[in-house]
Amino acid sequence: AADAFYDYIMTEKDKIDDAENKFKELKAGLSTHGSWRSWPGQSITRPWDFDEASASRRQPSEGCEIELAEHRGITLAQLRPLWPYISRVCEPEEWLGYDGHPLRPRQVNLYTVCKHIIMPFTRARARSYVEHVANGPQPPTFFVSHWWGEPVKDFIACIEQHSGDRGLGEDAPYWVCAYANNQWNIGKAVTKDPGDSSFRRAMRLSKGTLSVIDAGSVVFTRIWC
């Protein structure tokens, strides 16, 4: 099963010849700051309520090299642009799920994001996603335990809720394996001794662990989550 998922993810990696142009909207989203509406009466925000009129700009990242995978946390400011991008391109590009059926944006999970965004977005430099959107090391505040099969929209909403509940702001890094590990060299992160893995090292740095519970509670059936 693991090999089948790997094959599903890797089939798109060489099909994007002009990644710079394809991901222009995503990169523009990464350079926004404070551009997300709040829920009425609450301080937390929703990534799908993009309000361009209230946006201020930040200097877009030119990418960097972060030697240690455990220092590659991802912030809400770096996660949020994924959803508007997914919602715009998923159906026009006819993204398919693992079962071969067409996907709607609400159904897109991390396997699909890895296939259609992470791999082609990082192909030129063959480094982690975080190293393409950050300006330097981002040691994690929290380590995130979750299942790749939950919808990405739900995952971002959970991070928003957690960040809002704890008053962390949009620049507190969360360690999420898909974005932190170099998917072009995953063997470096998943070691024979689990204690040496990037996962364990990130846990040691973090203040705590956040478990994202999917609608079907699949996360509880997987010991490594």
- Looking at residue 21, the DSSP 8-state letter turns out to be H
pLDDT in tens, 1-37: 445 555 555 555 555 555 556 777 777 777 665 544 4
Q: What are phi and psi of 74, to 5 degrees?
A: -120, 140
What's the pLDDT score for residue 41? Answer: 42
What does the alpha-carbon distance between residue 187 and residue 189 come to, in Å, rounded to a whole number? 5
Which stretches of the chain drop beneath a pLDDT of 50? 1-2, 35-45, 47-48, 50, 225
What's the pLDDT score for residue 186? Answer: 73
What's the pLDDT score for residue 214? Answer: 86
CA distances from 177 to 52, 114, 165 (A): 30, 11, 23
What's the pLDDT score for residue 38? Answer: 45
- Cα distance between the two ends of the chain: 17
Residue 36 CB burial class (10 angstroms; 0-12, 13-18, ≥19) = buried
Residue 135 φ/ψ region, left for φ over 0, alpha for ψ in the -120 to 50 degree band, beta for the rest: alpha
Q: Cβ(41)–Cβ(151) under 8 Å? A: no
